[in-house]
Amino acid sequence: MTALQRVLAAFASGFALLALIFDFASTEGAPLPVWEFPLVGVFLVLGVLSLVRFRVKISYWVDGVLAAIGAVGLVLALETLQQAEPGYWFALVASWLFAWLFAERLALAIARDEVPDAVGVLIPAIFGVAILVAWEAITRGGNVPKVLLPSPSGIWETLIGNIPRIAADFQQTFLKAVLAGYALGCGAGFLVAIAVDRSPFLKRGLLPLGNFISALPLIGIAPIMVMWFGFDWPSKAAVVVIMTFFPMLVNTVAGLNAAGHMERDLMRTYASGYWSTLFKLRLPAAAPFIFNALKINSTLALIGAIVAEFFGTPIVGMGFRISSEIGKLNVEMVWAEIAVAALAGSVFYWVVALIERAVTFWHPSVRGGRA
Amino acid sequence: MTTASESLCMSFARLTMRNVVKPTGSLVPILIVVAALIVVWYVAAVLMNWQGMSDFYQRTDVTGVSFNQQLNDVLNAEKPLLPAPHQIVGEFWKTTVEQAVTSKRSLVYHGWITLSATLLGFAMGTVFGIGLAAFIVHNQAMDRSLMPWIIASQTIPILAIAPMVIVVLNAVGISGLIPKALISTYLSFFPVVVGMVKGFRSPESIQLDLMRTYNAARFQVFTKLRWPIALPYLFTSMKVGVAASLVGAIVGELPAGTSNGIGARLLAGSYYGQTIQIWSALLAAALLAGALIALVGLAERLTNQRLGARA
C-alpha cells in the first residue's frame, strides 16, 4: 500500500466508526439510530472491520463494494429521515473515502497491467456517481432550500414531468437555431478560408485579425442580431454563424498550410493541378485542424443560441425558459433545461469527435491506440 | 473517454501552437484589410439605414430631400440599424473621455466593473487550474477520474446558466463582484488545466532521470524541472483563459437587476434600441480583450527575459 492509500484507508474506517458513535438522523425531533437503516449499518460495521487490511491483504473490489453499499444505503435512508445528524455526514464521508480508495487502488492496478485497460472507464464513472450521491444526500439530508440547489431526483422528476415543453424548447433552440447557425457558420468559414488561401497577402492580413476576433466577446453581438433578424430563431442562428465563423476560418487556413513541402512537391511531379492537390492532399491534411474548429464550435454554437435568447425571443426556447423560470424561482425547471443542454452539448461534441476518428483514421493521434 | 480527452488536449496544443507562430511583417496587410473592412462597413451602414430614413421622411412629410442631404442624415441618424464607424467612435469618445470616470454614464466606469470581475475570476481560475493540474500530474486516480469530467464540463453551455448562478447567489446574499468572478473562474480554469497538464508532463524522461540521480524529492522535481518547463504552456493557456474570463464577466452582467458593467450596457442598449450605445460597449469589450491579451503577452516576454530564454 502506498502512503496515500494507508491514509485513505485509516480515515475511511475512522469516519465509519465516528458514524456509529454519533447520532445518525432524526425525524420530527425524535432520533433515528443507525440500526433503523440496516444497509448503512452493515456498511459502517464492515467499514470499521476493514481495518484488518493493515494485517491481511484485502482486494480493492471489497472497497468498491463497500462504497457502493454505503452509497445505496445512504440514498435509501433519505426516504425516511427528515434531518441528517452528524452520524449521517460521517457515513457519507466514509463512503466517499472508500470510493476514492477504490479508484486509487484500481488506477494503480491498471498502471501495473493487473487489470485490462478497459476497466479504467469505471474510475470517472465512480467519480460522477459519487458526486450525484453527495449532491442528493446534502440537498435532501441537509434540507437545502430548493432555490439554492435542488436535488438530482427533484430535477429528474421535473424533467420527466415536463417533457413536451422541454422538447419544444429543444426543437426551437437546438434543432433550429444551433444546427442552422452551425452549418452556415462553419460552411462559410470553410469556404472563405479556401478563397483566402489563394492570396498570401490576404492570408497575412486576415489571419491575425481572425485570431484576434475569435478571442473577442462576440456573444455581445446578440442584441444587435435580435434587432436585425427579429425575435424568432433566425436571429439566434445569426449569432451562432458569427461566433462559429472565425474559429473555422482561422483553423482551416492554418490547416491548409499543414501539408509538408515533400508531399506538395510529389503532387507537382504528378502534374496535379490546384484543385486536385486541394482535394487529394491539402484538405485531408487539414482535416485535424478543421475538426478541431468543429469541436470548439459545437459548444460555442449552443452557448450562442441560448445566450442570444436572453435578449428577446418568442415564448419558447431553452434560453427563454431558463431566464423566465429563474424569474419565478422555479429552479428545478432551470436545472432540467441545463441538464438537457449539457446532454445535447456533450452528444454534439462526441458525435463530431466520432466523425473525426472515422475521417482522420490516418492521424497519429487516432492510429496510436491510447492517444 | 480517455482517448477523446487526449484528442482535445491535442487540439488545444494545436490551438496554442497557432498563437505562438505569428507571421512576421504582416502589419501592412493587416492595416489594408482593416481599411477595407471599414469601407465595407460604411457602405453597409448606408445601405441598411437608407430605407429607414426614407420611411422617416415619409412619416414626417418631408419631401424633396437631396441625395447628399439624405446621405448625411443616414450617417448621423440617432438610432440607426447599423451605426457608421465614426458614430461608434464618437459615442465611445463621449462616454470615456468627456465623462467623469465616476459617472454612471462613463464607459470607463462600466469597463472597470467588468474588468475587476474579469481579473478576479481570471486569477482564481488560473491558480485553481494550476493546482488541479499539479494534482492530476502527480496522481493516477485523479488523472483518470477528473480529466474526462473536466473535458465534459466544457461541453456544457455553462454561460447559459450564468444568469441563474447570479440570481441564486444574490438570493443567499452574495452579490456584486464574486458571482461574476465565479463564472469567469469556471471559464478560465479549463484552458489552464489542459495546458498545464500537458506542460507539467513535458519534461523528457532523460531529464526526469537526471533529477532521480540527484535524489530530488517530488516537490523539488516539481519546482525545479516541471514548473519552468511548463511556463510557455502557462502563458499560452492564460491568453485563452483571459479572453474566456472576459466573456464570462460580461454574460454574468446580463440578468436583469444588475445595472453596472459592459454586459448591463449591452442589455440596456437592446431594451431602448440604442444601437450606438451597444456598439460602443462592444468596442470597449474588444479593447479590453485586446489589452488583456497584450498584457499576458508582455508578462510572457518579461518572464522569458528573466529566464534567459532566446527571444
Q: A25 in helix, strand or coil?
A: strand
Interval B138-188: pLDDT, tens: 887 888 888 788 877 776 767 777 777 777 787 777 777 888 888 889 888
Chain A residues 128-167 with CB within 8 Å of chain B: 128, 147-149
Q: Which residue has the cell 438610432?
A: B79
Taking 70 as the threshold, does the pLDDT of residue B273 lie above it?
A: yes
All residues of chain B having their beta carbon less than 8 Å from the beta carbon of residue A302 are 157, 160
Query: How sure is the predictor about A367, in pLDDT bands with cuts at 50, 70 and 90?
Result: low
Region(s) of chain B under CATH 1.10.3720.10: 107-306
pLDDT for residue A365: 65
**Nearest alpha carbon to residue A141 among A77, A203, A97, A95:** A77
Taking 70 as the threshold, does the pLDDT of residue B204 lie above it?
A: yes
Cα–Cα distances (Å) from A12 to A46, A78, A91, A105, in that order, read: 11, 21, 9, 14
Looking at the complex, report in whole angstroms how far the Cα of residue B97 sits from the nearest Cα belonging to chain A. 23
From A302, A322, A353, residue closest to B7, measured CB to CB: A353
Say yes or no: A345 and A213 in one domain.
yes
Say yes or no: A192 and A304 in one domain.
yes
Beta-carbon pairs below 8 A across chains A and B: 204
| End-of-domain residue from the set A144, A173, A203 | A144
Within-domain flag for A149: no
H helical segments located in A137-214: 152-161, 163-170, 179-197, 200-214
Q: Which residue has the cell 491510447?
A: A370
pLDDT for residue B13: 45
Looking at the complex, report in whole angstroms how far the Cα of residue B31 sits from the nearest Cα belonging to chain A. 7
Within-domain flag for A184: yes
Interval A155-213: pLDDT, tens: 999 999 988 988 998 888 888 889 999 999 999 999 999 988 888 888 888 878 887 88
pLDDT for residue B261: 83
Say yes or no: A130 and A181 in one domain.
no
Q: How many domains does chain A have?
A: 2
State the average pLDDT over residues A86-94: 88
Say yes or no: A116 and A234 in one domain.
no
Say yes or no: A213 and A357 in one domain.
yes
User: When comparing pLDDT for B134 and B12, which is higher?
Assistant: B134
**A188 HSE (CA, 13 A, CB side):** 14
pLDDT for residue B310: 56
A103: nearest CA partner in chain B: B141
**Which of B27, B156, B187 is the best substitution to test chain A (most A C-beta atoms within 10 A)?**
B156
Cα–Cα distance, B263 to B180 (Å, whole number): 11
- The share of chain B scoring above pLDDT 70, in percent, equals 88
Taking 80 as the threshold, does the pLDDT of residue B22 lie above it?
A: no
- Mean pLDDT of the residues in chain B: 80
Residue A279 is part of a domain; what is its CATH number? 1.10.3720.10
Antiparallel, parallel or unpaired: β A83-84 and A30-32: unpaired
Say yes or no: A40 and A174 in one domain.
no
Cα–Cα distance, B66 to B56 (Å, whole number): 15
Poorest-pLDDT segment among A242-246, A278-282, A346-350, B173-177: B173-177
pLDDT for residue B14: 46
pLDDT for residue B84: 83
State the average pLDDT over residues B99-117: 82
**Which residues, including other chains, have CB under 8 Å from residue A288's CB and lie 6 or more apart?**
A255, A258, A356, A360, A363, A365, B11, B14
Say yes or no: A266 and A344 in one domain.
yes
Taking 70 as the threshold, does the pLDDT of residue B257 lie above it?
A: no
Does any CB of chain B come closer than 8 Å to the CB of residue A70? Answer: no
B261 φψ region: left (φ > 0), alpha (ψ -120 to 50), beta (else): left
Question: Following DSSP, what letter does each residue of A50-96 receive, concatenated?
Answer: GGGGGTS---HHHHHHHHHHHHHHHHHHTTT-SEE-HHHHHHHHHHH
Handedness of CA A197, B9, B114, A337 (dihedral sign): positive
Cα–Cα distance, B247 to A214 (Å, whole number): 12
Q: CATH assignment of B107-306, given 3.40.190.10, 1.10.3720.10, 3.40.50.2020, 1.25.40.20?
A: 1.10.3720.10
Residue type for position A240 = V
Q: A31 in helix, strand or coil?
A: strand
A216: nearest CA partner in chain B: B286
Give the range of the structural domain holding residue A62, as residue numbers without chain letter: 3-144
Cα-based torsion angle of the residue sequence B262, B263, B268, B270 in order, rounded to the nearest 10 degrees: 110
User: When comparing pLDDT for A23 and B116, which is higher?
Assistant: B116
Say yes or no: A275 and A361 in one domain.
yes
Within-domain flag for A215: yes
A291: nearest CA partner in chain B: B11
Say yes or no: A170 and A240 in one domain.
yes
Taking 90 as the threshold, does the pLDDT of residue B210 lie above it?
A: yes
